Amino acid sequence: MKLKNIKISTILIYLTFIVIAVIVFGPLLITFFAAFKTSLEYAKDFSWKLPSGLYLDNFVTVFKEGKMVLGFKNSMILVIFTILINTVLASMVAYILARFEFKFKKLFMFVFLLGMLVPSFVTEIARFGLIKSFGAYNTIAAPIIIYAGTDLMQIYIYRQFINAIPISLDQSARMDGCSYFGIYRRIIMPNIIPAIATLAILKMVEIINDMYIPYLYMPAERLRTLTTALMSFAGSKSGIFVELSAGVVLVMLPTLLIYLFFSKYILKGVVAGAVKE
């Protein structure tokens, strides 16, 4: 394409994308490069300059003083138990709403929608009181109870997949003496595996990145997650940017790897049940 044939609007579009890319990826690159620099090298060099070598002492310091291994263990416990409970609850609710007709069905859907519209901080005092009354405060069960709750997006995606399953399969199973739970376990669950995988990945990223709920509901040092461990480490290392950068890179790494490996499955799972054949 000749330069004179390029429209000004096209140039502006490309410039806009370049500016957005710099704004989004610029701080990430600065943080990543700083994690492999010494404090002296970071102070005297341009922020976007590549490190002179792989200086790993910052990461050693984070592991020793930041208790990242403990944070990773607690985060994985939250992820595993939450996803197991959340998957069963959300898929069961979607199965009931998709396959059964009962009174106040629309009201139930409205309640789920209302729960998404109401800001979480409005109900925080009541939720905090409930968690304390359960005796779960400052235990790892507290965030599991909160995270395990389902939401409208999960129900919508599961319902789309369940609606794509022929209801004749349910009827045939009932004629053979299968219970409703048996239909759910043997017919529904195997056919919504793509949705389960998609929502499990999204839930995993949400839990690993969340700092607010673990900090509020399990402040004990032995219960630190990756994010709360990083926050505590940042408080003790204020001003030492290279070590803080190493901590940020370590906390960011799990979610980044999850996205790189599973991004295509996330998109496929979200749209697969949206269209009926």
Domain boundaries, the chain: 3-55, 65-224+252-272
Residue 214 pLDDT > 90: yes
List, for residues 235-245, the tens digit of each pLDDT value.
776 667 888 88
CA 157 to centroid of chain Cα atoms: 16
**How many CB atoms are closer than 10 A to CB 226?**
30
What is the token pair recorded at 43? 């102070």
What is residue 273's predicted lDDT score, i.e. its pLDDT?
52
What is the token pair recorded at 155? 């129900």
What is residue 1's predicted lDDT score, i.e. its pLDDT?
46
What is residue 254's predicted lDDT score, i.e. its pLDDT?
83
* Amino acid residing at 40: L
CATH superfamily of 65-224+252-272: MetI-like (1.10.3720.10)
List, for residues 41-95, the tens digit of each pLDDT value.
888 877 778 888 788 888 888 888 888 889 999 999 999 999 999 999 999 999 9
What is residue 266's predicted lDDT score, i.e. its pLDDT?
65
Burial of 250 (0-12, 13-18, 19+ CB in 10 A): buried
Positive or negative, the CA dihedral 40, 235, 259, 271 is negative
User: What does the alpha-carbon distance between residue 277 and residue 275 come to, in Å, rounded to a whole number?
Assistant: 6
Q: Which residue bears the tokens 């409703």?
A: 180
Three-class secondary structure assignment of the chain: CCHHHCCHHHHHHHHHHHHHHHHHHHHHHHHHHHHCCCHHHHHHCCCCCCCCCCCCHHHHHHHHHCCHHHHHHHHHHHHHHHHHHHHHHHHHHHHHHHHCCCCCHHHHHHHHHHHHHCCHHHHHHHHHHHHHHCCCCCCCHHHHHHHCCCCHHHHHHHHHHHHCCCHHHHHHHHHCCCCHHHHHHHHHHHHCHHHHHHHHHHHHHHHHHCCHHHHHHCCCHHHCCHHHHHHHHHHHCCCCHHHHHHHHHHHHHHHHHHHHHHHHHHHHHHHHCCCCC
CA 235 to centroid of chain Cα atoms: 25
What is residue 125's predicted lDDT score, i.e. its pLDDT?
86
Burial of 154 (0-12, 13-18, 19+ CB in 10 A): buried
pTM of the model: 0.81
Mean pLDDT of 161-182: 89
Q: Which residue bears the tokens 């009354």?
A: 133
What is residue 225's predicted lDDT score, i.e. its pLDDT?
93
What is residue 5's predicted lDDT score, i.e. its pLDDT?
60
